[in-house]
Structure 1
Amino acid sequence: MFRLGAHLQVYLHGDPIDFRAGIDSLAVLVQETMALDPFAPAAFAFCNRRRDRMKVLFFDRSGFVPVLKRLTEDKFRWPHRQEAIVRLATEQLHWILDGIDINAMIRHPVRQYQVAG
């Protein structure tokens, strides 16, 4: 399986896109719609309307790299957020690519303990 470096920022485009878009169209979408730098050390993820395809675009110092994943029988669990652009950790993107629903993941509550003296 393809893995991105942990140092990259990950941005998800919240709305589905037309999957006929190529590298140049995706780079323009990142710059104009998402107001982000497509040359930054980041990965930009896009999904189609049926949520069975995902494109990830990143720049690797020598050119743009597009990655396409198409599911045959399932759908990606795209995060439900109010924002149009969702920022994730690289690990979270890998979870989405692996079919994990990050909306269903619940963080354990942080508890404050006092030591009796």
Structure 2
Amino acid sequence: MKRMLSAPEIYLYRESVDFRKSINGLAAIIENDTNLPLGSGALFLFTNKQRDKVKVLYWDKTGFALWYKRLEKAKYKWPSKEKNDVFTQTHFELDRLLSGFTIIGHKPVKIEDFTMT
């Protein structure tokens, strides 16, 4: 987890992916669809078709790690109409995204109170 906080680059993969994919499947997407170096320590962000989940793939010097977050009552705003397959993000933008803010514009996603059952 510490490695996520000091990643040299953060890349957001534009297309939604099948969230049954784990480390090997997501790494294959990066290798096949981009020319980005997987072992650089960069973070690679992916979302599902419903845009309510995010996976973050990264290399932490001893192996790949995968981090997962699911929103309960909101959806991530994700660039979908642009031509680029991958977008570079800043640590600030990543923090905003994971804190419930959109990465497009500056409005927070609507957060409703809910009770876990």
Q: C-alpha offsets along residues 74-109 of structure 1, whole Å, 9 cap, x if unaligned? A: 11122454311101112211211112123214xxxx
Q: Please identify the structure whose Cα radius of gyration is greater.
A: 1
The structure that is helix-richer by fraction is 2
Name the counterpart of 2:84.
Answer: 83
Please give the root-mean-square deviation of Cα atoms over the aligned residues, in Å. 1.8
The TM-score, its normalising length taken from structure 1, stands at 0.80
Give per-residue Cα distances to partners, 1:4-43, cap 9 Å, x unaligned: 3244200010010000101011111111112211111200
- Consecutive unaligned residues of structure 1, counting only runs of 5 or more, are 106-117
Q: Matched residues, percent identical?
A: 31
Aligned residues: 104
TM-score by length of 2: 0.80
Deviation of 1:3 after TM superposition, in Å, equals 8.4
Matches within 5 A, 1:1-117: 4-79=4-79, 81-105=82-106
When structure 1 is superposed on structure 2, of 12-21 and 76-85 the one drifting more is: 76-85
| Contact in 2 for aligned 1:77/1:99 (Cα 8 Å) | no
After TM superposition, which residue ranges in structure 1, 4 or more long, deviate above 3 angstroms? 79-82
